[in-house]
Structure 1
Amino acid sequence: MMEQCDRDDLDDRLAGALIAWKLQQAAEADKWAEAYENTGYVFTYENGQPLKPQYATRLFAKLQEKSGLPALTFHGQRHEAASLLLAAGTDVSLVAKRLGHSSVSITSDIYSHMIGSASRQAAENASALVPARKAGAHTLHTQPV
Structure 2
Amino acid sequence: MVWTPALTKRFLDRARRHRLYAQYHLIAFRGLRRGESCGLRWADLDLTQGTAAIWWQITQIGTDTFEDKPKTAAGEATISLDSATIKELRAHKARQNTERLAAGDAWTETGYVFTTPTGEPVDPNDVTEQFEQLSMEAGLPPVRLHDLRHGAATFLLAAGYDMKVVQETLRLSSIAIASDIYTSVLPQLARQSAEDAAAIVLNAVPHPPRQPGGNATGRQT
Which TM-score applies when normalising by structure 2? 0.49
1:10 alignment partner, one of 62, 67, 82: 82
Q: Quickly say closer, same or farther: Cα 1:123–1:93, change in 2 above 3 A.
A: farther
Q: Which amino acid in the other structure matches residue 111 of structure 1?
A: Y
1:30 alignment partner, one of 93, 101, 105: 101
Q: Which structure 1 residue ranges, 4+ long, deviate > 6 Å from structure 2?
A: none
Q: Which amino acid in the other structure matches residue 107 of structure 1?
A: A
1:79 equivalent in structure 2: 150
In 1, the alpha carbon distance for the partners of 2:112 and 2:184 equals: 35
Matched, 1:101 2:101: no
- Deviation readout 1:8-66 (Å, 9 max, x if unpaired): 53242x33222111101122233445653333322110122111011111111111111
- Deviation readout 1:107-133 (Å, 9 max, x if unpaired): 11211122344345445545654689x
Q: Which runs of 5+ in 2 are unaligned?
A: 1-38, 51-79, 207-221
Q: Quickly say closer, same or farther: Cα 1:16–1:84, change in 2 above 3 A.
A: same
CA contact (8 A) 1:45 1:51 kept: yes
Q: Which stretch of structure 1 is more off in the superposition, 38-47 or 60-69?
A: 38-47
Provide the alpha-carbon RMSD of the alignment: 3.0
CA contact (8 A) 1:29 1:36 kept: yes
In 1, the alpha carbon distance for the partners of 2:188 and 2:136 equals: 31
CA contact (8 A) 1:93 1:104 kept: yes
Larger strand share, 1 or 2: 2
In 2, the alpha carbon distance for the partners of 1:31 and 1:58 equals: 25
Which TM-score applies when normalising by structure 1? 0.70
Partner of 1:114, secondary structure, is helix
Q: Which runs of 5+ in 1 are unaligned?
A: 135-145
Q: How does 1:133-144 map to 2 (within 5 A)?
A: none
Percent identity of paired positions between Structure 1 and Structure 2: 37
Q: Which stretch of structure 1 is more off in the superposition, 77-86 or 44-53?
A: 77-86
Q: Quickly say closer, same or farther: Cα 1:4–1:101, change in 2 above 3 A.
A: farther
